[in-house]
């Protein structure tokens, strides 16, 4: 029998949109829609879905898919003059068949390279020439890695600036049973209080109402501990100093057409981001932003786990 290898396949997804399916030999998988360069599924080797996608998500341009990992570029949120979260999440990306070499060797792993370049229409809104390359890789142990490389290809000598986020929606058993470690004592901007700056207290973060905060200059490692599922997500990031934490809670959930009324209980967005200090690139310069996600079983009972072990281990 032929040796089993990681597989990469392009198939039709919801509404006939193209999606790339990555499969690893031990059974983990991931799916990436070309629409938005958007990861919509990440499953462990037991076939359990680790990302949240709304049952009401609209897989139809120009609406971004509600859930998974939308890419916010060249603007995060309303921090600028462009549409909310920029335009990358509602553009059709292409498969990049000949990407420039990566310093990291992806051989033996399932991965796909996507590329986004501006259309004439985009250039009217954001008058810059760029190449945005996204590599999505599934590691043999089921880890999911996203690497973005954004290059300024302006030939008018102009620099450009942007803000960015991997707007990751994690699937959780029950939001009130979840805690986030790694953001204690940090400064944050509160989107619910006109982006005013506050300092977080010393305890791990738990959830009992709407939250929409941008934690500034965070450590590169953040853990989401799902008490009920006995699962810990570990998020590692590079080139992305900030981390956005969002849960719409009941009222905002009801106000969103593409989100179920009770779905806020089963999701949490922790978004590796560069928001406070925009990235500036001169012509010919390239920026890189990396996100690595892993999901590990945790036999966590309140007070048993040393948070430092999760964050440093």
Ligand X SMILES: O=P(O)(O)OC[C@H]1O[C@H](O)[C@H](O)[C@@H](O)[C@@H]1O
As annotated, the active-site residues are 167, 271
Residues 39-98 within binding reach of ligand X (CB under 6 A):
64, 77, 84-85
Q: DSSP string of 164-196? A: EEE--EEE-S-GGGEEEES-TT-EEEEGGGTTE
228 vs 250 by CB, closer to ligand X: 250
Nearest CA among 49, 84, 41 for reference residue 63: 84
Q: At its nearest, how many Å lie between ligand X and the CB of residue 29?
A: 25
Give the whole-angstrom CA distance, residue 103 versus residue 286. 14
Q: At its nearest, how many Å lie between ligand X and the CB of residue 212?
A: 5
Q: Please tell me whether residue 235 adopts helix, strand or coil conformation.
A: strand
135 vs 237 by CB, closer to ligand X: 237
Give the number of other Cβ atoms within 10 Å of residue 65's Cβ: 26
What is the widest separation between alpha-carbon atoms in the chain? 61
> Judged by CB under 6 A, does residue 191 bind ligand X?
yes
Q: Which residues are annotated as a binding site for substrate?
A: 66, 84, 89
Binding to ligand X by CB under 6 A, coded x per residue (else -) over 243-282, reads -x-x----------------------x-------------
Q: At its nearest, how many Å lie between ligand X and the CB of residue 305?
A: 27
CB neighbours of 217 closer than 8 A, spacing ≥ 6? 186, 187, 241, 242, 276
Q: At its nearest, how many Å lie between ligand X and the CB of residue 243?
A: 11
68 vs 139 by CB, closer to ligand X: 68
> Judged by CB under 6 A, does residue 169 bind ligand X?
no
Q: Please tell me whether residue 255 adopts helix, strand or coil conformation.
A: helix
Q: Which of 212, 226, 242, 276 binds ligand X (CB under 6 A)?
A: 212
Q: Which residues of 257-283 are buried (b: 16+ CB within 10 A; e: fewer)?
A: eebbeebbbbbbbbbbbbbbebbebeb
Q: Which residues are annotated as a binding site?
A: 66, 84, 89
- Name the residue number minimizing CB distance to ligand X: 246
Count of residues engaged in binding ligand X, rule: CB under 6 A = 9
19 vs 38 by CB, closer to ligand X: 38
Q: At its nearest, how many Å lie between ligand X and the CB of residue 72?
A: 8
Q: Which residues pair with 164 in a beta bridge?
A: 274
In the complex, which residues of this chain contact ligand X (CB under 6 A)?
64, 77, 84-85, 191, 212, 244, 246, 269
């Amino acid at each position: 029998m032929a040796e089993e290898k990681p597989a990469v396949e392009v198939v039709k997804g919801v509404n006939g949109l193209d999606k790339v399916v990555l499969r690893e030999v031990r059974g983990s998988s991931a799916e990436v829609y070309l629409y938005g360069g958007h990861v919509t599924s990440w499953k462990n080797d037991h076939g359990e879905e680790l990302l949240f996608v709304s049952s009401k998500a609209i897989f139809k341009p120009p609406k971004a898919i509600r859930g998974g990992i939308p890419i916010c570029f060249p603007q995060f949120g309303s921090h600028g003059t462009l549409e909310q979260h920029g335009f990358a999440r509602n553009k059709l990306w292409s498969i990049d068949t000949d990407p420039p070499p990566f310093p990291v060797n992806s051989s033996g792993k399932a991965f796909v390279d996507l590329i986004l370049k501006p259309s004439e229409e985009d250039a009217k809104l954001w008058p810059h020439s760029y190449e945005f390359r996204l590599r999505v890789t599934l590691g043999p142990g089921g880890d999911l890695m996203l690497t973005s490389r954004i290059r300024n290809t302006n030939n008018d000598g102009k620099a450009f600036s942007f803000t960015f986020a991997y707007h990751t929606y994690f699937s959780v058993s029950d939001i009130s049973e979840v805690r986030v470690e790694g953001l204690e004592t940090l400064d944050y901007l509160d989107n619910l209080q006109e982006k005013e700056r506050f300092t977080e207290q010393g305890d791990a973060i738990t959830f009992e109402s709407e939250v929409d905060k941008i934690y500034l200059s965070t450590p590169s490692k953040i853990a989401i501990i799902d008490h009920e599922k006995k699962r810990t997500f570990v998020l590692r990031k590079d080139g992305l100093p900030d981390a956005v934490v969002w849960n719409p809670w009941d009222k905002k959930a009801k106000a969103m057409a593409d989100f179920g009324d009770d779905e806020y209980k089963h999701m949490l967005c922790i978004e590796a981001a560069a928001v406070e200090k925009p990235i500036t690139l001169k012509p010919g310069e390239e920026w890189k932003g990396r996100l690595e996600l892993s999901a590990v079983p945790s036999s966590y009972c309140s007070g048993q786990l040393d948070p430092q072990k999760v964050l440093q281990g």
